[in-house]
Amino acid sequence: MVAGACQGVEEREVGGFSPYSVRDVARLVAGRGEILTMSPATIHRILAEVVLKPHRRRYFLTRTDPLFAEKMAEIVDLYLHPPRGCRMLCLDEKTHIQALERLPPTLPLRPGLVERQEFEYVRQGTVDLFAAFDGLSGEVFAHGYQRHTNREFRHFLRALRARDPDSRWPLIVDNAGYHTKQAVLDWCAAQRPKVTLPWLPTPGSWLNQVEIWFSIVSRKCLRRASVRSTEDLRALIHRFLKTWNTHFAHPFEWTYTGKPLAVAPQHYEVLAA
């Protein structure tokens, strides 16, 4: 039974099942004819004894960058020990944000009734949002575009620089193709004071603090939005941005130090077995 629960997708006796539940394992055991019947509760108890949870899955990401550790250490050090006299900016894009229009209006919250929203919607286009998160103040500068190429990226950098032409910037970005174009690198090299580019490792977008802000935008602004056009969507995002910078901007408390995550001692025994 334990061996059956540990089978990979290609090895499973019941083709096409992914994943197994305890009820599936119970039926599988009964179908072999070795045991007439076994309850799902019994299956669950046996699997729990050997720390098997067939209903759960964790993702991992293979590191393809040979300098992953060095680049990660540089980024983490910037977060934990920000340089003096600089603006530490984390920049990235949230691409293909859909402008969704709910045709009947949303019914607001009332005593005893939750907010109700029409399930059907009409897509009115998409917006690519460029954003720069100030790691020291928590303020954000953002702008929406129709595309996300190095042309839009350079326009965003120029607009960002115009707001603060006299500061040195460590500009934390990933190595997307339009970030590494020669025109972008030449523009950064020509800036005085300096604009440096501490590159995120590949893959390492989770080390970029602006991704945390994008998650906040998705949950607090976009998830329930209903807009009639991409212009309305841009206006909505910029209203949220103004409110964020006025009332909610704060630096994120970065706690990850770059050390590998620990494994619980009891799991070592299971893995060794």
Structural domains for the chain: 2-49 (no CATH), 68-248 (3.30.420.10)
For residues 139-177, one letter each, b for 16 or more C-beta atoms within 10 angstroms of the residue's C-beta and e for the rest, the string is bbbbbbbeebebebbbebbeebbeeeeeebbbbbbbeee
Whether residue 159 contacts residue 143, with contact meaning beta carbons closer than 8 Å, is answered with: yes
Give residue-wise pLDDT tens across range 158-206.
Answer: 999 999 898 888 999 998 888 889 999 999 999 988 888 899 988 888 8
Q: Is the peptide bond between 19 and the residue preceding it cis, with omega within 30 degrees of 0?
A: yes
Whether residue 115 contacts residue 228, with contact meaning beta carbons closer than 8 Å, is answered with: no
Integer-rounded Cα radius of gyration of the chain? 25
The C-alpha atoms of residue 230 and residue 144 are separated, in whole angstroms, by: 9
What pTM was computed for the model? 0.79
Count of other CB atoms within 10 angstroms of residue 217: 20
Whether residue 29 contacts residue 1, with contact meaning beta carbons closer than 8 Å, is answered with: yes
pLDDT of amino acid 8: 65
The C-alpha atoms of residue 253 and residue 9 are separated, in whole angstroms, by: 40
The C-alpha atoms of residue 59 and residue 53 are separated, in whole angstroms, by: 15
Most confident of 24-28, 125-129, 260-264: 125-129
152 φ, ψ to 5°?
-65, -35
CA angle 181, 137, 68 (to 5 degrees): 45
Ranges 25-29, 134-138, 259-263: which has the least confidence = 259-263
Q: Mean pLDDT across the stretch 57-85? A: 84
Most confident of 137-141, 146-150, 200-204: 137-141
